Amino acid sequence: MKKDKPFQSLNIAVLTVSDTRDETNNTAGDLLEGALKESGHQLSEKMIVKDNIYHIRSIVSVWIASTDVQVVLVSGGTGFNAKNSTIEALTPLFDKTVDGFGELFRQLSFDDIGTSTLQSRAVAGLANGTVIFSMPGSTGACQLAWEKIIQSQLDARHGPCNFVPHLK
DSSP secondary structure string, 97-117? E-HHHHHHHHHHHHHHHGGGG
Q: Does pLDDT of 1 surpass 90?
A: no
Residue 4 lies in a domain: no
CATH of the domain at 81: 3.40.980.10
Residue 5 lies in a domain: no
Distances from the Cα of 159 to the Cα of 5, 96, 126, 136, 155, angstroms: 10, 21, 19, 27, 9
Residue 101 lies in a domain: yes
85 Cβ contact list (under 8 Å, min separation 6)? 51, 52, 53, 56, 77
How far apart are alpha carbons 160 and 95 in whole angstroms? 23
Residue 2 lies in a domain: no
Residue 6 lies in a domain: no
Please tell me which residue, 58 or 116, carries the higher pLDDT value: 58
How far apart are alpha carbons 65 and 138 in whole angstroms? 28
Average pLDDT, the chain: 96
Confidence band, pLDDT 50/70/90 cuts, at residue 124:
very high
- In percent, how much of the chain has pLDDT > 90? 92
How far apart are alpha carbons 64 and 72 in whole angstroms? 8
Q: Does pLDDT of 2 surpass 80?
A: no
Per-residue pLDDT at 5: 85
Per-residue pLDDT at 79: 87
- Per-residue pLDDT tens for 130-159? 999 999 999 999 999 999 999 999 999 999
- Per-residue pLDDT tens for 95-116? 999 999 999 999 999 999 999 9
Q: Summarize the confidence of residues 1-22 as an average pLDDT.
A: 91
Q: Does pLDDT of 3 surpass 70?
A: no
User: How many separate domains does the chain show?
Assistant: 1
Residue 106 lies in a domain: yes
Q: Summarize the confidence of residues 18-42 as an average pLDDT.
A: 96
Range of the structural domain that residue 102 is part of: 11-166
Residue 1 lies in a domain: no
Residue 112 lies in a domain: yes
Confidence band, pLDDT 50/70/90 cuts, at residue 82:
confident
